[in-house]
Amino acid sequence: MTTALLTDMYELSMLDAALADGTAARPAVFEAFSRRLPPGRRFGLLAGTGRFAQLLEDFRFDDADVAFLRDHQVVSDRTADHLADFRFTGTVRALPEGSVYWPGTPVLSVEGTFGEALILETLVLSVLNHDTAIASAAARMVIAARDRPLIEMGSRRVHERAAVAAARAAYVAGFATTSNLAAGREFGVPVAGTAAHASVLARASEAEAFAAQIAQSGPSTTILVDTYDIAQGIRTAVEVAGPELGGIRIDSGDLLVESRKARDLLDELGATRTGISVTSDLDEYLLEELQGAPIDRYGVGTRVATGSGAPTAGMVYKLVAIAGDDGAMRAVAKRSSSKTSVGGAKTLSRFEDGREVWTLDGTVPVGASPAQTVLVQDGVRTTSGHGTQEARTHAARSLEQLPVEARKIAHGDPYRHSEEWTS
């Protein structure tokens, strides 16, 4: 299946007009950036560039796509013929996936002809806005968890394909595992999962349900103990599995109180090494409140995979430069109230302390290094440096380098705004 029709109609309407007057052939540069962070956020964490590069490889219009466009009179015959042979031949540069960013940071740039770069807008934004929103929320949860592992388990709360992308983005941000098997197969995200309440309800007793799980998975498994009564569930789990039981999971009640009571009871029963996992609408604020509780692992679903915990990243994709009649590139920018953009193709550089500089003449300031890497060169995806594991490693380093003020979970302003150099 091609990805070309994952596109808003006005992209092709504009292409139709641009082919008619010749604008489509002019060299151009588009940039993706966020004008602002969601309220209260101190930083954003970029995700999705690796997925975008994959999807771009399939951005072509097959016979069925072209027939649809003709039948519905979306474009002229000339444009339909043009799209039948379309292949992106430009270059895409981006911050390494897993990088932190701030308002205005050009996180991705597309260089090519106006026509070919123009029609990538919807795909760029749908991927970056979704994955970056998830990763930015997940990063705050990773910070709040303070080295305790997190499992992503939000698949049942979102569209089936969004669930796969969300699992990958959360893993990039630092989650340890996911419950989503497709994310494990497609992106190598470690998978985890044991049993839900249905396993207990389907059997005559908790003891029978726990025995079945242990027979299948061994005593190192994690048993869900809150179907009926947490304390009794813990006693039954230890009775069936023995004191070497791997873990218990609590999915209801006051998790701070219940985890402490559970730890005391487990220790009393001799299960001193049995871990405690908790789930139930966790987010970074609840994780922060649970610090100090005897909890070993967290499961996060709704609040990381949906808009309730991951507000939109607000990415936009704007034309910043295009060749004039004389062939020279000229800067272009919006001046609309509250929706301004900065014209000119930018070279993004960063200093070791995280300070960010844009230059419009291609120079890199002394002491800084170019911040973007090449995702696609002359239409061909680069082969290294943009995989899921590389993104995860880079994200961990990016978050570690954030100053204490930026890592605070409480609402605050973006830690650092970008600078523009015009030298």
Q: Is the pLDDT of residue 421 over 70?
A: no
pLDDT computed for residue 76 by the predictor: 97
Tell me what the mean pLDDT of segment 52-63 comes to: 96
Long-range CB contact pairs, 410-415, < 8 A, 24+: 411/39, 411/40, 412/40, 412/42, 413/42, 414/37, 414/41, 414/42, 414/43, 414/102, 414/103, 415/42, 415/43, 415/102
- In this predicted structure, the answer to whether residue 336 has a pLDDT above a threshold of 80 is yes
Mean pLDDT value across residues 253-266: 97
* Residue 287 · residue 145 · CB < 8 Å: yes
Q: What are 342-393's pLDDT values in tens digits?
A: 999 999 999 988 889 999 989 999 999 999 999 999 999 997 667 999 999 9
Percentage with pLDDT > 90 across the chain: 88
Query: Does residue 347 sit in helix, strand or coil?
Result: strand
- % of the chain beyond a pLDDT of 70: 97
Question: Which pLDDT belongs to residue 385?
Answer: 65
The pTM for the full model equals 0.94
Element (H, E) at 407: helix 404-407
pLDDT, position 307 = 63
197-221: pLDDT as tens digits? 999 999 999 999 999 999 999 999 9
Residue 328 — very low, low, confident or very high, per pLDDT cuts 50/70/90?
Answer: very high
Q: Are strands 275-278 and 297-300 parallel, antiparallel or unpaired?
A: parallel
The pLDDT of residue 310 is above 90? no
On whether the CB atoms of residues 371 and 97 are closer than 8 A, the answer is no
Q: What is the pLDDT, as a whole number, of residue 418?
A: 52
Nearest partner of 153 among 358, 6, 300, 367, judged by Cα: 300
Residues of the chain with CATH 3.20.140.10: 9-133+310-421
Domain 193-294, CATH homologous superfamily name and number? Aldolase class I (3.20.20.70)
Residue 318, phi-psi category: left (phi > 0), alpha (psi -120 to 50), beta (remainder) = beta
- 308 falls in which pLDDT band (50, 70, 90)? low
pLDDT score recorded for residue 422: 46
| CATH 3.20.20.70 domain span(s) along the chain | 193-294
Residue-wise pLDDT for 137-148, tens only, equals 999 999 999 999
pLDDT of residue 413: 83
The CATH number of the structural domain formed by 9-133+310-421 is 3.20.140.10
Q: How far is CA 124 from CA 31, 344, 421, in A?
A: 10, 19, 26
Averaged pLDDT of the chain: 94
